[in-house]
Amino acid sequence: MLTQDELKTLVGQAALQYVVPGEIVGVGTGSTVNKFIDALASMKDQIKGAVSSSVASTERLLALGIEVFDANAVGELSVYIDGADEIDGRGYMIKGGGAALTREKIVAAQSRRFICIADESKLVQTLGKFPLPVEVIPMATQRLVRQFAALGGTAKVRMQGGEPLLTDNDQHILDVTGLQISDPLAFESEVNQWPGVVTVGVFAHQRAQVCLLGTASGVKTLNF
């Protein structure tokens, strides 16, 4: 049996087939994406560089000699490659376990195709078992906690070292448990309208077109 880490390596390498030579690739954030970044170094001379969704990914890309462009300095990207905390059978995802959801959604929206790379533990029937990350403006926190409670969810501020975690955008994260998100498009649209929400970690409007799923029998390709 392959370990979860070995599955992540497999899908990270498999994602190279979706990278368009001569172009700039959108790069996500997280432990699975780190495997993709390491694999991408093998073809760094064939691409112009990357647009990155987090400070951590930018640092890893630069350390491997891959040029990183500001999102505003480039046009549409051919492909965005990122992981997911959960993905369902339609390509809808929950993302933000690594606190980079806002920038991830920005780069995803800038890209023609979203290729999700994940191990099979991330595939679910209905989104919501994984705590839903929501990036919020701090002054709205308690009101948003109450709004999620009205939907049946329990929202808690993500902490780090005894203090609220700060995102790359200097905002806070609420992690919401107790939700079953049966209509991800409607849910994302609703929560994004709540004052004080920067980004909700449901990726339905920016869903994946392809998921490369690491399984015990190898990489399985799901097309949505």
Catalytic residues: 104
Q: In whole angstroms, give the CA distance from residue 203 to residue 143.
A: 23
Torsion-angle region of 128 (φ positive above 0: left; ψ -120 to 50: alpha; else: beta): left
Which residues lie below 8 Å from residue 100, measured CB to CB, with a gap of 6+? 28, 29, 30, 53, 54, 56, 57, 167, 168
3-state secondary structure of 175: strand
What DSSP character marks residue 204? Answer: S
Tokens of 158: 């993500």
> Is the Cα dihedral 211, 60, 199, 135 positive or negative?
positive
Q: In whole angstroms, give the CA distance from residue 150 to residue 191.
A: 12
Q: In whole angstroms, give the CA distance from residue 30 to residue 33.
A: 5
Q: In whole angstroms, give the CA distance from residue 211 to residue 74.
A: 25
Say which residue the tokens 């112009």 belong to. Answer: 48
Q: Other CB atoms closer than 10 Å to residue 192's CB: what's the count?
A: 15
